Amino acid sequence: MDLLNTLVDKGLRRETPTRAEALAVLATTDDELLDVVAAAGKVRRHWFGRRVKLNYLVNLKSGLCPEDCSYCSQRLGSKADILKYTWLKPDEASQAAAAGLAGGAKRVCLVASGRGPTDRDVDRVSDTIKAIKEQNEDVEVCACLGLLSDGQAERLREAGADAYNHNLNTSESTYGEITTTHTYADRVDTVRKAHAAGLSACSGLIAGMGETDEDLVDVVFSLRELDPDSVPVNFLIPFEGTPLAKEWNLTPQRCLRILAMVRFVCPDVEVRIAGGREVHLRTMQPLALHLANSIFLGDYLTSEGQAGKADLEMIADAGFEVEGAGEVTLPEHRASGGCGSHAGGGACGSHDGAGCGSHEDAGCGSHEGGGVCGSAPAPAPAASADEPRPDLVAVRRRGAGTDLAPNA
């Protein structure tokens, strides 16, 4: 296929595809899907080999967010039956992080719901970062706290943060349909503040909210322009009790095409499969490792993910290997220059609105996608690929903010 040969050549040269080429990837048929995966896989292996970076979410403060992000279970007015708790103490957060690190994670993503941190909140998170790094000197720490005010990114960097996550989530033209309490420009400003402070910028998207192919291409091209080191790709988790609870628009094949398009547009960037992979990729998750080089280990912010042990088995069975703590995530040309050079140079990723990259609540501050814990939901009767699967959406009841152990 001439299109795929062209995209591989461009990806190996770090050349941006055209919008028409990106749209054509999303328009490929299921019969062409394995060819698409194989082509994007060549680009992924060129820049990242067969390494898979593991990231671990710690939800520092869950629920009760004043923002109205439609996709988020922690949003204002959410009726989702999620865990709600205020700030974890630094030692509690450090203990939660230790579980993920023991499971093989090299990056911890500290997420908190809310519009953005106060200066006191930044002090709290700074103390938490120091507590985690005292116990684990080589760990990468990414903060995901919502919209940043002037000077806050610099303070987080001074405290030892390596990265900051804040997702764009969707295209600028449709952003107002998803959120009204802040703007797309607010999100762009926060990513730029992180960059300017010397933090590795992490910013991604949420697919499955009813957007068009053009919206997906718009947001990915906007991300390419912002040049984050890490791009988390979230797939909407339609939580009951949120405005998007009925949005079941994704199939495993659609998810793979989206990941392939992101890889072609952002060839040398850490592409992370974030919230919703268990719900929408399901048994196709191993194929997605040929496109993305990073995943979250275990649970998310407010929902349960695949058990950490199952994640590790999946990576090994698919012929990949877990990236070691001493390995640099990004290619040399990125890792040696500024943003991506810290602690192995990766990026963050958990989502929640603010961006760590996991989505779940992907809204203002951290959310959905975040969390840490959980066992995989019980198997359900077989369903066709395009049918809703609410049985796969499990609210997190373990890990951070509870007395139960996580599932890392």
Catalytic residues: 65, 69, 72, 109, 142, 202, 272
DSSP per-residue string spanning 22-77: HHHHHT--GGGHHHHHHHHHHHHHHHHTTEEEEEEEEEEEBS--SS--TT-TTSTT
DSSP per-residue string spanning 279-326: HHTGGGHHHHTTT-SEEE-S--SSB--S-HHHHHHHHHHTT-EEPPTT
Strand extents, DSSP E, 208-293: 230-235, 270-273
Output the CA–CA distances (angstroms, integers) from residue 83 to 64, 184, 250, 311, 372, in the order listed.
Answer: 10, 28, 26, 24, 12
Report the distance separating Cα 121 and Cα 133, nearest Å: 18
Q: At what angle do helices 252-265 and 2-12 cross, to 10 degrees?
A: 50
CB 202 within 8 A of CB 230: yes
Report the distance separating Cα 402 and Cα 201, nearest Å: 30
Phi, psi at 126, each rounded to 5°: -60, -45
